[in-house]
Chains A and B, each alone.
Chain A
Amino acid sequence: MANDHLTFDVHKGEIFGFLGANGAGKTTAIRILCGLSSPTSGDVNVAGFDIYRETEKIKKNIGYMSQKFSLYEDLTVSENIQLYAGIYGISAKKRKEKEAELLKKLGMGEARGKLIAGLPLGWKQKLAFSVAIFHDPKIVFLDEPTGGVDPVTRRKFWDLIYEAANNGITVFVTTHYMDEAEYCDRVSIMDAGKIEALDTPAKLKEKYQASNMDEVFLQIAR
């Protein structure tokens, strides 16, 4: 059983950390929340839509980014943005405005016509995240967005996450970096398909008498 009677709420504008060991059932749960897979039983509402009947509406209202795949390597920066904007039905005029604004913010104006394949990993990740929220979704799902990148890039990526949450986007994020768990408003920890803990990092540390989230995680998942 990949997910065993999961029950939890994530609030608007919240950064929600979804932690668990490899094979704990995180990916299964995310696939259900994104409308890509149906639960065997149970009720789920995402962005106010029902997971069984309204999967298409859910897809319009969420963004998704994973470490493994997010952008097309053999398309340019601008072509990737065009593709995503097209899929989400954003008008050409609006897309051009937003694209210019975005590339300026990321300091990537000169890379507009470059292929994704040739960009540094840190740029790819920032761009992938920005593309995932280009259509102003209510919720964005981030599946290990920071794996393998250098410590500075990792933190700059979290600056983007904070900013998105501050703008009212709900952020649902998985990570293996326990220091990143501290950056979340609330954290859930899964083990063997069940949620073993769910609270703010401060309360979890208090409950497990731990000095950091790494210790909390080791106590629960070991």
Chain B
Amino acid sequence: MIEISQISKSYEDVQALKEITLQVNEGELFGLIGPDGAGKTTLMRILMTLLLPDTGEAKMNGFDVIKDFKKIRHIVGYMPGRFSLYQDLSVEENLNFFATVFGTTVEKNYDLIRDIYYQIEPFKTRRAGKLSGGMKQKLALSCALIHKPKILVLDEPTTGVDAVSRKEFWEMLKKLQKKEITILVSTPYMDEATLCDRVALIQKGKILDVDSPRRITEKFPRKIIRARSDEMYRLINDLRAFKKAESVFAFGQYAHFTGIEDNVETTELDIYLEKLNHKNVLVEEIPPGIEDVFMSMQEQAVSSE
């Protein structure tokens, strides 16, 4: 379990974290969702006892991040955002090194990493620096797990990773969760939020909301209308020019539209777009996704500053 209470942290003139309070339950797969610069890495580094908070306290399975830092280091596994293994050691040497540091052996905990490690085992004599991105990621995860941690912290493990490898990585996390490991993972990909039990949406050092992904979208009060036509760029510009438009953004093959005070009807937009000679127009109301919610909260946070 991770308990974070009123944590703040500043770097020179930037306040990276503003009174963060958060609890991650035992065995939970918890997501920190937010863009670059939101404060995700700072929070993780504090939990990993690599950085001291200015104020507030945090506990990892009951151990205090300041007083009990040595104990914490035995029960956590950490995969930093930047590849931090020894580039000039082989795959096997890296894994043995991390096992030895924690006073254990690869054999003893092989069960835990088998599903991940078997995919890179054929390359075990290759230097870590020569691995592809996806293989480095698997090795880093194996090394973070080799001492059988109770809590696993992963800092943007899927950034810059292609859609297929991302999917595989999340399948691995789901399997690890079944082995009673508490997992805290950060990501800038909003679609990955739906794969977590609960998420915290974080922006500029502040938590916007904490809940299950389903609850976050269910309780969102705004009406989202999506529209499609043959000309995306013109569609977006025309929708923005609509007199009752509040925000219009591209979402894949559609544009998502929110109107002022939510009183815009789909038929109004339909007629408006037909008049402007858009072809193959489709306008419909849809339930909001995580990304809609995040973007709306983000715009609100910006306008209230």
B-binding residues in A (CB < 8 A): 20-24, 67, 120-121, 144, 147-153, 155, 158-159, 162-163, 165-166, 176-179, 182-183, 201-202, 212-214, 217-218, 221-222
Query: Which of B16-24, B30-38, B116-124, B215-223 lies on the face that meets chain A?
Result: B30-38
A221 vs B167: C-alpha distance when bound (angstroms): 12
Q: Which of B37-51 contact A (CB under 8 A)?
A: 37-38
Measured between beta carbons, the chain B residues less than 8 angstroms from A218 are 163-164, 167
From A24, A149, A201, A214, B36 is in contact (CB under 8 Å) with A149
> Beta-carbon contacts of B287-305 to A below 8 Å, as 1s and 0s?
0000100110011000000
Taking a contact as CB atoms under 8 Å apart, the answer to whether A22 and B36 are in contact is no
Q: Could you tell me if B160 and A162 are in contact, using CB atoms closer than 8 angstroms?
A: no
Q: How far is the CB of B252 from chain A (nearest CB, A)?
A: 4
Given the interface pairs A150-B203, A151-B294, A162-B233, the reply to whether A22 lies near B34 with Cβ below 8 Å is no
- Chain A residues with CB under 8 Å of B188's CB are 147-150
* Interchain residue pairs with CB less than 8 A apart (17): A20-B162, A21-B164, A22-B161, A23-B132, A23-B134, A24-B162, A148-B159, A149-B35, A150-B188, A159-B236, A165-B233, A176-B166, A179-B251, A217-B163, A218-B164, A221-B163, A222-B164
Contact B164 A152 (CB under 8 A): no
- Which residues in A have their C-beta under 8 angstroms from that of B160? 22, 67, 144, 147, 176
Query: Separation in Å of the A103 CB from the closest CB of chain B?
Result: 20
- In chain A, what residue has the closest Cβ to B247? A152
The verdict on B56 contacting chain A, using a C-beta distance below 8 Å, is: no
Flag B245-259 by CB within 8 Å of A: 1 or 0 each: 000011111000000
For the complex of A and B, 8 pairs with smallest distance between CB atoms = A150-B35, A179-B252, A182-B252, A21-B162, A162-B233, A22-B133, A148-B36, A182-B253
Q: A212 contacts which of B132, B134, B253 (Cβ < 8 Å)?
A: B253
Is B25 interfacial (CB 8 A cutoff)? no
Q: A121: which B residues are within 8 A, CB to CB?
A: 35-37
| B232 CB-CB contact with A under 8 Å | yes
A-B pairs with beta carbons under 8 A, tally: 94
Cβ contact within 8 Å between B298 and A151 = yes
- How many B residues are at the interface, by size bracket? 35 or more
Question: Complex formed: what's the CA distance from A212 to B133 in Å?
Answer: 26
B252 touches A22 (CB 8 A): no
Q: Are the C-beta atoms of B35 and A221 separated by less than 8 Å?
A: no
B36 cross-chain contacts in A, Cβ below 8 A: 121, 148-150
Please, how many angstroms separate the alpha-carbon atoms of A158 and B203 in the complex?
A: 21
Chain A residues contacting B164 (CB-CB under 8 Å) are 21, 217-218, 221-222
- B190 at the A interface (CB under 8 A): yes
B165 within 8 A of A: yes
Q: A160 vs B165: C-alpha distance in the bound complex, in angstroms?
A: 29
Q: In the complex, A147→B162 CA distance in Å?
A: 11
B252 touches A212 (CB 8 A): yes
In the complex, the answer to whether A176 meets B161 with C-beta atoms within 8 Å is yes
- Contact across chains for A214 and B291 when beta carbons are under 8 A apart: no
